[in-house]
Amino acid sequence: MVIDSLPPLRDVIRTHDLQARKSMGQNFLLDLNLTAKIARLAGNLSSCDVLEIGPGPGGLTRGLLSEGARHVLAIEKDARCLPALSDVAQAYPGRLTVLHGDALEIDPLTHLTPPIRVAANLPYNVGTELLVRWLTPKVWPPFWQSLTLMFQREVAERIVASPGSKTYGRLAILAQWRSDARIVLQLPPEAFTPPPKVSSSVVHLSALSEPRYPADPAVLSRVVAAAFNQRRKMLRAALKNVAPDIEDRLVSAGLKPTDRAEQIHLEGFCALARAVAAP
Rounded to whole angstroms, how far apart are CA atoms 119 and 38?
8
Average pLDDT per 10 consecutive residues for the chain, totaling 279 residues? 86 91 82 95 97 96 97 97 97 98 95 97 89 94 97 96 95 98 96 88 98 96 94 92 96 96 97 97
Supply the pTM of this predicted model.
0.94
Q: What is the pLDDT of residue 25?
A: 73
- For 192-241, write each residue's pLDDT tens digit: 888 888 999 999 999 999 999 999 999 999 999 999 998 889 999 999 99
Phi, psi of 79, rounded to the nearest 5 degrees: -60, -25
